């Protein structure tokens, strides 16, 4: 009985993130910010080639968490950027992954999580003010979600 307790209470040791890991993840966040800004234009456009490249670059890392995140982020990249409605759903899921990543790795820049209840979607941006990328007619609809530590 005592042996089972010790076996179940042992966690795998956490592998620290290298400076390269942080730089690779920071680039994904920076490219996500550019996608966000592109969607805020008068004629919204979804350009994800550089975001896709930054996610692909995560393969340079040997960290197991980064490999896992690369797979999840790739899975949630918009498949049809011309179909904004479908892409928005995928971008919202990608944003939730970024929030999880942000909880584990310290980024040099500050990013916030937002949620719009009208369109039921999330986004991550450097902004502190709401600039909803999903609804051109209501850019100020949404809320900043406070970080939970």
Count of Cβ atoms closer than 10 Å to residue 38 Cβ = 15
Query: Alpha helices, DSSP H only, in 57-120?
Result: 64-75, 84-104
The pLDDT value recorded for residue 10 is 55
Average pLDDT over residues 31-51: 94
For the stretch 50-65, pLDDT in tens is 999 999 999 999 999 9
The pLDDT value recorded for residue 48 is 95
Q: Where are the chain's structural domains?
A: 17-145
Q: Determine the Cα–Cα distance for residues 43 and 5; give it in Å rounded to an integer.
A: 59
DSSP classification of residue 60? G
The pLDDT value recorded for residue 43 is 87
The CA-based dihedral angle spanning residues 70, 71, 74, 76, taken in that order and rounded to the nearest 10 degrees: -120
124 band by pLDDT with thresholds 50, 70 and 90: very high
45 band by pLDDT with thresholds 50, 70 and 90: confident
Average pLDDT over residues 7-16: 65
DSSP classification of residue 82? T
The pLDDT value recorded for residue 44 is 87
For the stretch 84-105, pLDDT in tens is 889 999 999 999 999 999 999 9
* Contacts (Cβ under 8 Å, ≥6 apart) of 81: 46, 47, 48, 87
């Amino acid at each position: 009985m005592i042996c089972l307790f010790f076996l179940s209470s042992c966690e795998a040791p956490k592998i620290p993130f290298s400076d390269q890991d942080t730089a690779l993840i920071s680039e994904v966040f920076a490219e996500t910010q550019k996608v966000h800004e592109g969607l805020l234009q008068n004629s919204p456009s979804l350009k994800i080639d550089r975001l896709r490249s930054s996610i692909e670059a995560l393969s340079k890392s040997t960290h197991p968490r980064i490999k896992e995140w690369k797979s999840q982020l790739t899975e949630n990249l918009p498949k049809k950027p011309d179909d904004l409605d479908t892409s928005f759903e995928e971008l919202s899921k990608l944003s939730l992954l970024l929030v999880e990543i942000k909880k584990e790795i310290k980024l040099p820049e500050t990013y916030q999580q937002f949620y719009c209840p009208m369109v039921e979607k999330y986004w991550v941006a450097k902004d502190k003010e709401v600039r909803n990328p999903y609804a051109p007619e209501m850019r100020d609809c949404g809320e900043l979600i406070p970080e939970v530590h």
